[in-house]
Chain A
């Protein structure tokens, strides 16, 4: 790239990646007065952010993630006033069920442990569970209910944040791929597929499963494995199931979850994940996994067997080896920030991540504890 190349844009921060993390960060950074350039390789929210299950769930999360998750939940409730639409957020609760004693004990312990973090769960055992949630199988051993959790439409969320960010003055460029990033004494210089150069003193990397290469280029490699959680949806039936329902099992194949949208379709997912072709940007959906989901879905919801499946899909998520995201400042490069690797549980966190990253970008600090998510935790471990 010659020095004479025109600089196409200069801002306080460049955000690479227009998933829900990048789009929400762009929006909240504008709220704090930063100038923002958001660069998205394809379309905003097209990958994991748009193809995930749509869970707005706090219960079951790693406890130290709850402050961030709580902040996000508060923002979910205010989306209409913040970004002008509700993206179909329904705060109808989240039910985790168990079918055996050992899983029930885990749920009961979690309900105690999460209380200090301000998450209050209701526990229903045996008959009580089915009385409270009559759609559930009578075999349910215990149900843990988080009344303020819920679900939303993932296809709408990231684009809504990006539009709101744009209205607030952010530059949002779709179909603009970042090809090269360099850093001079003051600024990051980002070169894109359109042959443009963008310059900013701060840079946030929110490119999901594609982040490893970028972080490694800055000397911060980490084990980040792409996998594709698999979803499907049934034909519409009368709207009866309001909360999200999930089976908390340690066995991957058993762990299915479902929600019904107001339109009537039951969206479900979980079980075995499919593989990913990062180069082709495609999840390799395996319909055999859909077959594997069926008996577990019926176990959770006996009436499920009477329905028909109309569509399947998979999204490209990325997983760290400790199941925690990478979020916060680079440990090596001043001005560089990360928000990726949400291990299939990032959707609920989106608004909170955006607000918290905006704090960091604007002030260098945040009240949300981020230490467990620092990329520095991978520095000591040898990366294969």
Chain B
């Protein structure tokens, strides 16, 4: 009998630990990685000719990052690692991939999706100006390319990444003009119960805040973004200031030369959707997520999710979840696994779940802002669709859910297929129609998961 084919999508913390577990069991997993080098987003590696030390790149997580990289290098000969390879579609029981224009189709007996997450964006007027980056993008610029988004950036949004990125910029010698958080002290206290389940991580976050404050960085909570204002930069306009309101409703204006913006993360779930996995609405994070059990098994036999692609729990949880999903996959295939190890991993994930709930409660997605966005605010930047367009779809065009609005006014129809604007778009629709966000639905996924080069050849040609 042929050895079963197990495909792991993604080579961040979850994908790497899943592949390692499979290799330890004597299998040779296929790893599909969109990036050029293993590490994922959080432990993204710098280009080969860059020489910054891990402590500089990953701060407090340097040891974890180095371990993940080293362990992966040790695995190289026992895995089929395919960098620069996108899993873009599903045809029957085959996963379709693309690498530099070459198509491939992989039949799989088991599939572990560790596709990670992207920034969750709440638009505000001016957010599409040059010089406005997502928090994740701000971090990648620094981590991979040793570039700052500006010399005087403002970081705005909410969630732990907000403070981490600001702190990393500070370490790199760029002092942020301000860190503006939409969550209030009240909501953070509400999340404290969950956050306390991981005291070391909580302490780390508090240290970032303290370092920023000590360096004279303005830290404000309970703010409301009003707009990003433009400044003239040569021939073009770019971000020049952030106008915001404090908790008492007073308006402030902070000059800057760049803005990093993000409101927590959203899971990359298109592949699970294309595989027809069941989804359920998650009330805390106000988004639809694939249904998984405690080990990461989805509703579709042989398909497992691990890491932030299954709900945002962060890098440490992703390592445990990746290993656990791989063990579960092996177990489901009738292979002997160590039950004790599975129990240990499940136990390790428990406080992570509580911590995640604490984060989502403490640093909530500011969904109420959607209702107040001015009509001329661009929401879908790919297709230049405004909040007013979505309200027209909701009202005069009578769209009961977000896919209908997409059909009418093109929200979520562009290059990113709604990965950036879908959640905010649904909030605007829900507010305009007076329905729940659950009723507003989610944008249905379609192949390709990301833009596919038309020069692609192979498999059928």
Binding site for B on A (CB under 8 A): 43, 46, 50, 155-156, 159, 234-236, 263, 285-288, 290-292, 294-295, 297-298, 304-313
Across-interface contacts of A43 in B (CB, < 8 A): 400, 404
Indicate whether A291 sits within 8 Å of B451 (C-beta atoms), given known contacts A155-B408, A156-B408, A263-B383: no
Cα A290 to Cα B105 in complex, Å, equals: 13
Indicate whether A291 sits within 8 Å of B456 (C-beta atoms), given known contacts A309-B448, A310-B451, A312-B448: yes
* Interface contact A287-B415, CB-CB below 8 Å: no
Indicate whether A311 sits within 8 Å of B404 (C-beta atoms), given known contacts A288-B91, A288-B460, A297-B454: no
B457 at the interface (CB under 8 A from A): yes
* Interface contact B454-A288, CB-CB below 8 Å: no
Across-interface contacts of A50 in B (CB, < 8 A): 407
* Interface contact B451-A287, CB-CB below 8 Å: no
Cα A360 to Cα B356 in complex, Å, equals: 64
Across-interface contacts of B461 in A (CB, < 8 A): 291-292, 294-295
B368 at the interface (CB under 8 A from A): no
* Interface contact A304-B454, CB-CB below 8 Å: yes
Cα A1 to Cα B396 in complex, Å, equals: 36
B213 at the interface (CB under 8 A from A): no
* Interface contact B448-A287, CB-CB below 8 Å: yes
Across-interface contacts of A313 in B (CB, < 8 A): 446
Distance of A344 from chain B, by nearest CB (Å): 20
A–B pairs, 13, beta carbons within 8 Å: A46-B404, A234-B454, A287-B91, A287-B448, A288-B105, A291-B96, A291-B456, A294-B455, A295-B461, A297-B454, A304-B454, A310-B415, A312-B447
**Secondary structure of the B contact surface, majority rule:** loop
**B461 nearest CB neighbor, chain A only:** A295
Distance of A168 from chain B, by nearest CB (Å): 17
Indicate whether A310 sits within 8 Å of B407 (C-beta atoms), given known contacts A287-B96, A294-B461: no
The one of A159, A236, A294 in contact with B456, judged by C-beta atoms closer than 8 angstroms, is A294
Number of A-B contacts (CB under 8 A): 88
Cα A287 to Cα B400 in complex, Å, equals: 29
Distance of B461 from chain A, by nearest CB (Å): 5
Cα A26 to Cα B455 in complex, Å, equals: 45
Distance of A210 from chain B, by nearest CB (Å): 20
Across-interface contacts of A155 in B (CB, < 8 A): 407-408
* Interface contact B453-A290, CB-CB below 8 Å: no
Cα A311 to Cα B105 in complex, Å, equals: 19
Q: Which residues of chain B (422-461) have a CB below 8 Å from chain A?
A: 446-448, 451-461
Point out which of A297, A304, A307, A311 has the most chain B C-beta atoms below 10 A from its C-beta: A311
* Interface contact B408-A235, CB-CB below 8 Å: no
Q: Which residues of chain B (74-90) have a CB below 8 Å from chain A?
A: 88-90
Knowing that A263-B383, A308-B454 touch, tell me 16 more A-B residue pairs with CB under 8 angstroms.
A46-B404, A155-B408, A235-B451, A286-B92, A287-B91, A288-B96, A290-B448, A291-B458, A291-B460, A291-B461, A292-B460, A294-B456, A308-B415, A309-B454, A310-B417, A310-B452
B47 at the interface (CB under 8 A from A): no
Distance of A91 from chain B, by nearest CB (Å): 22
The one of A288, A297, A304, A308 in contact with B459, judged by C-beta atoms closer than 8 angstroms, is A288
Across-interface contacts of A285 in B (CB, < 8 A): 446-447
Binding site for A on B (CB under 8 A): 88-92, 96, 103, 105, 383, 397, 400, 404, 407-408, 410, 413-415, 417, 446-448, 451-461
Cα A288 to Cα B98 in complex, Å, equals: 12
Closest 9 CB pairs of A and B: A287-B89, A308-B451, A305-B455, A155-B407, A287-B447, A309-B452, A307-B454, A288-B91, A291-B460
* Interface contact B454-A305, CB-CB below 8 Å: yes
Distance of A85 from chain B, by nearest CB (Å): 11
Across-interface contacts of A234 in B (CB, < 8 A): 454
* Interface contact A287-B88, CB-CB below 8 Å: yes
* Interface contact A312-B454, CB-CB below 8 Å: no
Distance of B402 from chain A, by nearest CB (Å): 13
**A274 nearest CB neighbor, chain B only:** B91
Distance of A160 from chain B, by nearest CB (Å): 9
**B384 nearest CB neighbor, chain A only:** A263
Distance of B419 from chain A, by nearest CB (Å): 11
Cα A307 to Cα B452 in complex, Å, equals: 8
Distance of B399 from chain A, by nearest CB (Å): 8
Distance of A159 from chain B, by nearest CB (Å): 7
Across-interface contacts of B410 in A (CB, < 8 A): 263
Distance of B102 from chain A, by nearest CB (Å): 11
* Interface contact B447-A290, CB-CB below 8 Å: yes
Distance of A84 from chain B, by nearest CB (Å): 12
Across-interface contacts of A159 in B (CB, < 8 A): 397, 408
Across-interface contacts of A298 in B (CB, < 8 A): 454-455
Cα A128 to Cα B264 in complex, Å, equals: 58
Cα A299 to Cα B410 in complex, Å, equals: 29
Indicate whether A306 sits within 8 Å of B454 (C-beta atoms), given known contacts A155-B408, A311-B446: yes
Indicate whether A295 sits within 8 Å of B408 (C-beta atoms), given known contacts A288-B91, A311-B417, A312-B447: no
Distance of A30 from chain B, by nearest CB (Å): 19
* Interface contact A306-B383, CB-CB below 8 Å: no
Cα A104 to Cα B89 in complex, Å, equals: 37
Cα A46 to Cα B461 in complex, Å, equals: 33
Distance of B373 from chain A, by nearest CB (Å): 23
Cα A295 to Cα B88 in complex, Å, equals: 19
Across-interface contacts of A309 in B (CB, < 8 A): 448, 451-454
Cα A346 to Cα B410 in complex, Å, equals: 24
Distance of A92 from chain B, by nearest CB (Å): 21
Across-interface contacts of B91 in A (CB, < 8 A): 286-288
Distance of A188 from chain B, by nearest CB (Å): 27
* Interface contact B448-A310, CB-CB below 8 Å: yes
Point out which of B383, B448, B459 has the most chain A C-beta atoms below 10 A from its C-beta: B448
Cα A50 to Cα B96 in complex, Å, equals: 27
**B105 nearest CB neighbor, chain A only:** A288
Across-interface contacts of A288 in B (CB, < 8 A): 91, 96, 105, 459-460
Distance of A233 from chain B, by nearest CB (Å): 8
**B89 nearest CB neighbor, chain A only:** A287
Across-interface contacts of B453 in A (CB, < 8 A): 307-309
Cα A290 to Cα B448 in complex, Å, equals: 10
Across-interface contacts of B451 in A (CB, < 8 A): 235, 308-310
The one of B408, B446, B459 in contact with A312, judged by C-beta atoms closer than 8 angstroms, is B446
Across-interface contacts of B447 in A (CB, < 8 A): 285, 287, 290, 312
Across-interface contacts of B383 in A (CB, < 8 A): 263
**A50 nearest CB neighbor, chain B only:** B407
**B101 nearest CB neighbor, chain A only:** A305
Across-interface contacts of B448 in A (CB, < 8 A): 287, 290, 309-312
Cα A96 to Cα B89 in complex, Å, equals: 31
**A155 nearest CB neighbor, chain B only:** B407
Across-interface contacts of B414 in A (CB, < 8 A): 235-236, 310
* Interface contact A311-B413, CB-CB below 8 Å: yes
Across-interface contacts of A295 in B (CB, < 8 A): 457, 461
Distance of B10 from chain A, by nearest CB (Å): 20
Across-interface contacts of A46 in B (CB, < 8 A): 404
Cα A313 to Cα B445 in complex, Å, equals: 10
**B406 nearest CB neighbor, chain A only:** A155
